[in-house]
Amino acid sequence: MAITRKIMDRIKEYTEDELIYKKYYEMRDDDAKRLAYMNEIEEYVREHGLFIKEFPFVEIPEVFSEDNFYPDLAINNESSVDVVRHSRYTPIFRYRCAYFEILYVFSGKCGHELGDKHYTLGKGDVAFIPPQTMRTIEVFDDSLVFTVHIRRDAFEDAFLNTLRYDNVLSDFFMSSLYSRESARSMLFPTGDDKEVRDSILEMYLEVQRGDMYSSRLLNNMVPIFFARLLRNHSDKVLVQDEHLKEGLQSEMRSARLRILSFIIDNYKKVTLNEVAEHFNYSLAHCSRLIKEETGESFSSFVRNIRLQHAESLLVNTNTTIADISSIIGYENPESFIRLFEKIYNMSPSKYRKKHNCIEE
């Protein structure tokens, strides 16, 4: 796509929140000026909920969520993807998100902390971060950083095909979704790759457009973005966990992930015997590999996959409970309902109502 001056000016433009954070940050070493400025902006801070902890009325969560950082996030029952530009000069907070996140440094740089390690991401870096990973992000200059948010269940629905290929990206998502030990981050240093840049920008602009076609377009843009990353940069990927650098692409790890992929593809009716026969393993060896990778038995893993699909259908569709039961492989709806109640402590119907979905 052609990046016009108008588009670039629009992206670079500071929001009012950013301007306040910026000015406050620039006065961090001048107490008198900063306190005077705080008097000027107090009403705005109250009204817009800025996180400046010097104000006694501002409550700072111990750990931030996407609701704190991105209250206008466009992910909902119809949309699996959202893209936001990170707010510059926002104070540094510990943060944990329920979605997969993809950080992209459009220009400049940003600080990024995972656990007890600090990283500096530069222009073109693409960092993949699994859900519920504790981290921080810091941008204290004119750098432009985008974050792509993707719902976890999208990888079992709209992006399932991405998980079926034997590559470092599919291994990362499979590991993040289903393994007991996964990488906290994976980095593609893409530099000046215009295809990657345009993919991110196209998704961002589509989110801004936000019409009735946007969700469908975004669901198609994400796999294209993944394919461009793999085609151009799969040989340069970095896993940012020392003990897992060899793990994702090791022969044994790949074998275990292929087993999980086969189970997920056939979760409705698959048996352990069928899995073992497909990979030419003994039942005991196949069962052990599944346990090593997931921490679960074969039967528990299949049950959880079925229930994850049931959750997605309950939250995102108005499919009947009986049809959901059949779709995920339970011939008897009563068996499905009893299992769901045992695991979630509520019926499927109550679960649907709790998540504000269309009732049957």
Residues of the chain with pLDDT under 50: 242-248, 357-360
Please tell me the predicted confidence (pLDDT) of residue 35.
95
Q: For 194, left (φ over 0), alpha (ψ -120 to 50), or beta?
A: alpha
Distance separating alpha carbons of residues 81 and 27, to the nearest angstrom: 37
Residue 309 · residue 328 · CB < 8 Å: yes
Please tell me the predicted confidence (pLDDT) of residue 276.
95
Please tell me the predicted confidence (pLDDT) of residue 158.
58
Cα-Cα-Cα-Cα dihedral sign, residues 126, 227, 292, 313: positive
Please tell me the predicted confidence (pLDDT) of residue 126.
96
pTM comes to 0.84
In this structure, which amino acid lies at residue 101? Answer: E
Which class for 68: exposed (0-12), middle (13-18), buried (19 or more C-beta within 10 A)? middle
Domains of the chain plus CATH, in order, are 5-48 (no CATH), 66-244 (2.60.120.280), 251-354 (1.10.10.60)
List all residues 6 or more positions away from 151 whose beta carbon is below 8 Å from its beta carbon: 75, 80, 81, 99, 100
Please tell me the predicted confidence (pLDDT) of residue 356.
63
- Which H or E run includes 85? strand 81-85
Query: Which strand ranges, in their side-by-side order, compose the sheet holding 186-189?
Result: 81-85, 144-150, 100-107, 125-129, 186-189, 238-239
Q: Checking DSSP bridges between strand 125-129 and strand 238-239, what pairing results, if any?
A: unpaired
Please tell me the predicted confidence (pLDDT) of residue 212.
87
Per residue in 74-84, pLDDT (tens digit) is 676 567 899 99
Residue 149 · residue 72 · CB < 8 Å: no
List all residues 6 or more positions away from 309 whose beta carbon is below 8 Å from its beta carbon: 156, 267, 327, 328
DSSP state of 112: E
Which residues partner with 105 through β-bridges? 145
Residue in 145, 139, 148 with CA at minimum distance from that of residue 125: 145
Please tell me the predicted confidence (pLDDT) of residue 4.
72
List all residues 6 or more positions away from 27 whose beta carbon is below 8 Å from its beta carbon: 33, 34, 37
What are the strands, taking DSSP E only, across 135-197? 135-138, 144-150, 186-189
Distance separating alpha carbons of residues 111 and 164, to the nearest angstrom: 33
Burial of 172-185, coded b for 16+ CB within 10 Å and e otherwise, reads bbbbbbbbeebbbb
